[in-house]
């Protein structure tokens, strides 16, 4: 009876140790991954703060109409109304 309890105790100790080591390794992996992403340069789309996608004098409706008439299958899809 004492030998079985000792085996269960050892199995529990080994399991807890392995799980703890895995948890520490996972935390270290995600920490370094986060730090690597933080040090990467953030890419901008090349627009200044005052610039917009829509040129002056045009509206979004004008841009949608232009994109729909530019050829077969190209441009923005039509919105479906119910």
Residue 13 or residue 67, greater confidence = 13
What integer best gives the mean pLDDT of the chain?
75
pLDDT (0 to 100) of residue 36: 87
Q: What's the pTM value of the predicted model, to 2 decimals?
A: 0.44
Tens of pLDDT along 27-60?
999 999 998 887 776 665 555 555 556 667 677 7
| Region 56-69 average pLDDT | 71
Quickly list H helices, 1-82: 2-39, 60-68
Q: Can you read off the two tokens belonging to residue 45?
A: 């789309």
Question: For the chain, which residues make up each domain, given as ranges?
Answer: 1-39
Task: Report whether 67 contacts 75 (CB < 8 A).
Answer: yes
Q: With cut-offs at 50, 70 and 90, classify the pLDDT of residue 78.
A: low
């Amino acid at each position: 009876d004492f030998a079985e309890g000792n085996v269960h105790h050892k199995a529990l100790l080994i399991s807890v140790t392995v799980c703890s080591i895995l948890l520490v390794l996972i935390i270290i992996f995600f920490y370094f991954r986060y730090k690597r992403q933080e040090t990467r340069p953030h890419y901008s789309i090349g627009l200044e703060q005052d610039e917009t996608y829509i040129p002056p004098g045009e509206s979004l409706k004008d841009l949608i109409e232009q994109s729909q008439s530019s050829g077969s299958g190209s441009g923005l899809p039509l919105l479906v109304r119910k």
